[in-house]
Amino acid sequence: MNYPNGRKGVSQRSSKQGKTQATFSNRGMTLEEDIALTNDYYRHANIAIVHKNPTPIQIVNVDYPKRSAAVIKEAYFKQASTTDFNGVYRGRYIDFEAKETKNKTSFPLSNIHQHQIDHMRACEAHGGICFIIVKFAIHEEVYFLPAAKLFWYWNDQFQGGRKSIPYDHMKVEGELLPFHYQARVDYAAALDKLYF
């Protein structure tokens, strides 16, 4: 199946036993792109309003050979960014980070930063809903993990615990987000199940 934008969709692959199985490996999209398309669908279907947070940068040097061809030559991060996405769903503020890992057995906590944990804790203290969405690229699986569970792993690493969340734990403690045609990463379903 091909999408209207020309991207390849879910392809069919034959296994050695002659059975056909679906694979998403040829979608050619990153998790953030899938979430952006999901957010567009949510917005147009009046389900939620969620946007990608821009990374604040300070532009220092720009080359202007002509106005239409300006090129940024040097820029710096102004400050540490918070999380990737935020918005409103069913009258509640939501805030989340999206991460992909090629690691087969665990999600390294080094992919998250202390300032992001602090931000999510502050949002939750004010009644917001925070979570992370993790894609295990090798398994082609995407999981929704509430911030409270993330905080437990985060704190445990500083008390001699693991510095990662095992894949097997993610399968139990997270919510699997199956791929859908319109809501590719349908995190609203997990929000409904866990919070509403």
Q: Binding-site residues, please?
A: 82, 84, 97, 116
The parent domain of residue 97 ranges over 31-53+82-195
Mean pLDDT on 178-182: 89
Report the C-alpha gap between 98 and 35 in whole angstroms. 8
0.75 exceeded by pTM: yes
Q: Which residues contact 157 (CB under 8 A, 6 or more apart)?
A: 109, 163
* pLDDT above 80 (res 21): no
Interval 57-74: pLDDT, tens: 777 788 887 777 778 778
In this prediction, residue 78 has a pLDDT band, given cuts at 50, 70 and 90, of low
Q: Binding-site residues for Mg(2+), please?
A: 82, 84, 97, 116
Q: Report if residue 183 sits inside a domain.
A: yes
Interval 104-149: pLDDT, tens: 999 999 999 999 999 999 999 999 999 999 999 999 999 999 999 9
Q: Report if residue 24 sits inside a domain.
A: no
Report the C-alpha gap between 126 and 151 in whole angstroms. 16
For the chain, what is the domain count? 1
Contact 30/100 with Cβ under 8 angstroms? yes
Cα three-residue angle 95-99-101, rounded to 5 degrees: 160
Q: Report if residue 119 sits inside a domain.
A: yes
CB atoms < 10 A from the CB of 101, how many?
20
Interval 38-64: pLDDT, tens: 999 999 999 999 999 877 677 778 888
Interval 23-36: pLDDT, tens: 443 344 699 999 99
CB atoms < 10 A from the CB of 111, how many?
16
Q: Report if residue 22 sits inside a domain.
A: no
Q: Report if residue 25 sits inside a domain.
A: no
Q: Report if residue 154 sits inside a domain.
A: yes
Q: Report if residue 130 sits inside a domain.
A: yes
Q: Report if residue 98 sits inside a domain.
A: yes
CATH number at residue 99: 3.40.1350.10
